[in-house]
Structure 1
């Protein structure tokens, strides 16, 4: 961590797209006074796999990847996270060590809420507890889909779905074609559950087929319906 700051929750635009959006005014005051805000550099860990949780993290601004390191040393990206979302809630609720690590993909502002305040909000605010359940259900659905994909889909289909997933999380840049996140080919491979070499080959093939285009690490979606069809997503 390189800097600490204070962010007034009443002035925070991202609160309205977080689980804290429906807090009463006096609850917002407690949240604002009880949290700590820090800025993380690109590549810096927010929390580390195998360490105990002490609270939850809320992304005020920036992008984060949640990844797990296997015994083999291979990284598997389990989730990509954007501003307004919370991190680390599952380990806290289950009272277990973190099963994954959170890493900043760019300069990222994070708010930390200690354990006792988080549980107080859950106990006193049914709407917040319900919102947390929806997030947990969504995360479980995403995990189940990835397990099915790994066993039933080709690498090309998984790469296509990974690109759609990134577009869903981060959207487009102003040109409405460039996915608004910068990732290495290795990161894309780790999302899709394949190798870096396969990721490079598949992305080159998608570019040749005019489904995507790329310059450096930036990826443009040229044929969105074609990408959706290729991903072969069933709900």
Structure 2
């Protein structure tokens, strides 16, 4: 919905030009009436976050629907003993931050910018008003929540039942599918610290480092600092599948 918005916003266009969206975008924008679109135009806010800057924190009261326009965002939770678990990674153009509002509860997770990022925020009170009048918009949110629940269900099983190799392989495939590859067609387009990769894969940093080294020795991947290049994707998929 908002990719064209942020592009024109960053380029310094006028407010109305910012909201001129391509007809090829098929999400929230297409199910809104012109009146609702005008409300979005008037109320949308653009916030730029620095690397590692908090977007929201646990126990904070939710107020906005968030859409990542540029950059990468991680959703995470602080567990027992201060151990961090990355719940999911947000990519452009994905919505986040709305579940807690509908549940009428504070955030149970936190979100921060994994790299310099731009987020569009729209008041959830405004969104709720629209939902009560627009059945297609309500259905769209039901679909988004349902998809998120399905992903969460699969992730719980995978993180608890797969062995270390399977979890790490799955994380690498997830990162590749989420953020794509660099121009060489093999290097994952995100640079993760080993600790972040471990937190995403539900393992210790030591296990992540050891398993990455094993993948390198088996010529499944190669490493260049934080860059991860996939050499044998078929084998990586097989390891992920068998767990």
Normalised by the size of structure 1, how large is the TM-score?
A: 0.90
Say what the alpha-carbon RMSD is for the aligned residues. Answer: 2.3
Aligned to 2:51: 42
Aligned to 1:176: 185
Quick check: 122-131 or 168-177, which moved more? 122-131
Instruction: Please list every run of at least 4 consecutive aligned residues from structure 1 whose deviation after the TM superposition is greater than 3 angstroms.
Output: 4-9, 17-22
After superposition, what is the alpha-carbon deviation per residue over 1:87-141, rounded to whole angstroms, capped at 9, x for unaligned? Answer: 1111110010100111101111111111221112322333332222222122212
Does structure 1 conserve the Cα–Cα contact (< 8 Å) formed by 2:68 and 2:91?
yes
CA distance in 2, matches of 1:12, 1:175: 31
Aligned to 2:217: 208
CA distance in 1, matches of 2:117, 2:30: 21
Normalised by the size of structure 2, how large is the TM-score?
A: 0.87
SS of the residue corresponding to residue 19 of structure 2 reads helix
Gaps of 5+ in 1: none
Q: How does 1:5-16 map to 2 (within 5 A)?
A: 9-11=18-20, 16=25
* Alpha carbons of structure 1 residues 11 and 49: separation in structure 2 relative to 1, 3 Å: same
Q: How does 1:182-201 map to 2 (within 5 A)?
A: 182-201=191-210
CA distance in 2, matches of 1:232, 1:46: 34
| Residue of structure 1 aligned with 2:85, choices 76, 80, 83 | 76
Aligned to 1:24: 33
Does structure 1 conserve the Cα–Cα contact (< 8 Å) formed by 2:98 and 2:124?
no
After superposition, what is the alpha-carbon deviation per residue over 1:211-230, rounded to whole angstroms, capped at 9, x for unaligned? Answer: 11121111111111111111
Are 2:169 and 1:148 equivalent residues in the alignment?
A: no
SS of the residue corresponding to residue 68 of structure 1 reads strand
* Alpha carbons of structure 1 residues 118 and 102: separation in structure 2 relative to 1, 3 Å: same
SS of the residue corresponding to residue 108 of structure 2 reads coil
After superposition, what is the alpha-carbon deviation per residue over 1:161-190, rounded to whole angstroms, capped at 9, x for unaligned? Answer: 011111121111222211111211111111
SS of the residue corresponding to residue 203 of structure 2 reads coil
Deviation at 1:21, TM superposition (A): 4.2
Does structure 2 conserve the Cα–Cα contact (< 8 Å) formed by 1:40 and 1:107?
yes
Deviation at 1:27, TM superposition (A): 2.4
Aligned to 1:103: 112
Are 2:138 and 1:129 equivalent residues in the alignment?
A: yes
SS of the residue corresponding to residue 81 of structure 2 reads coil
Quick check: 65-74 or 123-132, which moved more? 123-132
Deviation at 1:62, TM superposition (A): 1.2
Deviation at 1:233, TM superposition (A): 6.5
